[in-house]
Amino acid sequence: MEENNKKSFREKLLNFKQKAEKNLEQEKKEKQNKIKFHKKISYSITKFSKYPEMAKEGAKIATKYLISLIAFFSIFLSVISSIEMKKSDKDGIEYLNNNLPEFNYSEGVLITETAEKVVLKHDLIKELLKGEVIIDTNVENEDIINQYVDEYDKPQKAVILLKDKLITVNWKTPGEHEEYRYQELLKQYALKTSTTEKTSITKSDVMLYIENNLISFFSYLIRYFISYIIIYFGRFIIYIGEVCLIGYITNKILKMNFKLKEMYSMTIYAFTVPIITYIIYIIVHFFTNFSIPYFVESFMVLAYIFLAIALFKSKHDGVKKEGEN
């Protein structure tokens, strides 16, 4: 009885070992047969007969390919957007240096070296303070101050800097404004940041603070990359879904037997050239402001043309094989 149990255990162990070896061999074959990413790009552009073969790898593999393409696309776009933002920041600093008047804040009172009202409108100002900035430290007439407030219709936001206070317009609630004394704001800031309360501030202090707190190129790059991956994956999935549906109808008209999953995969590969074209278009647009009307529509038509060529090629190859048999 004990010998029979040992024999049965050995047989089970042997069967398990054989199955494990068989699975390893199958995995090796799948890895060997798996088409590499760079070859898929090449086949998607030049070898339409390879579309069905690539589609057989499955929708999951095709989706990974799409994500990889979008990642490359997002890297290019993120670099361009980050360069643009840093350029805008640099322009903003220069704008402030030229347009922000020399001033001195001391003991709750702000004094500027200009007698005229100053309005700051640069994008960097809007980014830092949510809207335009009006500086007038000489006005004390409430009617004139109310005119400044009324200039901004909701939802447009603004900050008005006066002699002893600032007014925020449409910040918290559209159509309303709030007043803050400088001393109160500086006390709150000191408590919040655990720093010593500022009693004296000049233009140089403000410029230094802004320059030190600007977003770095790398931070812009990461932010843009993550947002572009999410945005463009969602966008391209919609485009692919639309072209896939038209391709599936074409598949039925041609009396071919591609399943919807296979059609989805083939559509992804058909989008290779349009996505590369999109990257080139974005780069050209960045440097030249050149734009093409209805580019997205043209982009989708191009993808369908590649898919249709792959379908007709597959149909032709099938008919040719039948003729040879």
Please indicate, yes or no, whether residues 71 and 121 belong to a single structural domain of this protein.
no
Please indicate, yes or no, whether residues 301 and 228 belong to a single structural domain of this protein.
yes
Q: Does residue 85 lie in a domain region?
A: no
Q: Does residue 284 lie in a domain region?
A: yes
Half-sphere exposure of 155 (CA within 13 A, CB side): 3
Domain boundary among 137, 166, 198: 198
Q: What pLDDT is attached to residue 30?
A: 47
Please indicate, yes or no, whether residues 188 and 222 belong to a single structural domain of this protein.
no
Surface-to-core class of residue 150, CB atoms within 10 Å of its CB (0-12 exposed, 13-18 middle, 19+ buried): exposed
Distance in angstroms (rounded) separating the CA atoms of residues 167 and 7: 90
Q: What pLDDT is attached to residue 13?
A: 59
Contact 161, 135 (CB under 8 A): yes
Q: Does residue 6 lie in a domain region?
A: no
Q: Where are the beta strands (DSSP E) in 156-251?
A: 158-161, 165-169, 177-181, 200-202
Q: Where are the beta strands (DSSP E) in the chain?
A: 103-106, 109-112, 118-120, 132-135, 158-161, 165-169, 177-181, 200-202
Residues with pLDDT less than 50, the chain: 26-30, 32
Please indicate, yes or no, whether residues 135 and 181 belong to a single structural domain of this protein.
yes
* Domain range for 175: 108-198
Q: Does residue 159 lie in a domain region?
A: yes
Sign of CA dihedral 151, 156, 161, 167: positive
- Other residues' Cβ atoms within 10 Å of the Cβ of residue 74: 23
Q: What pLDDT is attached to residue 170?
A: 80
- Which residue type does 309 have? I
Q: What pLDDT is attached to residue 126?
A: 80
Please indicate, yes or no, whether residues 223 and 299 belong to a single structural domain of this protein.
yes
Q: What pLDDT is attached to residue 143?
A: 87
- Other residues' Cβ atoms within 10 Å of the Cβ of residue 284: 13
To 5 degrees, how large is the angle CA 56–CA 273–CA 257?
30
Please indicate, yes or no, whether residues 314 and 227 belong to a single structural domain of this protein.
yes
Bridge partners of residue 161, in order along the sequence: 135, 166
Q: What pLDDT is attached to residue 23?
A: 54
Please indicate, yes or no, whether residues 161 and 227 belong to a single structural domain of this protein.
no
Name the phi and psi angles at 41, rounded to 5: -60, -45
**Structural domain tally of the chain?**
2
Q: Does residue 103 lie in a domain region?
A: no
Q: Report the candidate in 68, 20, 62 with the shortest Cα–Cα distance to residue 276.
A: 68
Contact 241, 265 (CB under 8 A): no
Bridge partners of residue 134, in order along the sequence: 119, 160
> In Å, how far are 89, 224, 269, 270, 292 from 280, measured between CA atoms?
25, 18, 18, 17, 12
Distance in angstroms (rounded) separating the CA atoms of residues 167 and 142: 12
Q: Does residue 16 lie in a domain region?
A: no
Please indicate, yes or no, whether residues 75 and 133 belong to a single structural domain of this protein.
no
Please indicate, yes or no, whether residues 121 and 189 belong to a single structural domain of this protein.
yes
Please indicate, yes or no, whether residues 193 and 223 belong to a single structural domain of this protein.
no
Task: Decide: helix, strand or coil at residue 34.
Answer: coil
pTM of the model: 0.73
Please indicate, yes or no, whether residues 264 and 311 belong to a single structural domain of this protein.
yes
Q: Does residue 15 lie in a domain region?
A: no
Q: What pLDDT is attached to residue 321?
A: 61
Please indicate, yes or no, whether residues 237 and 151 belong to a single structural domain of this protein.
no
Q: Does residue 128 lie in a domain region?
A: yes
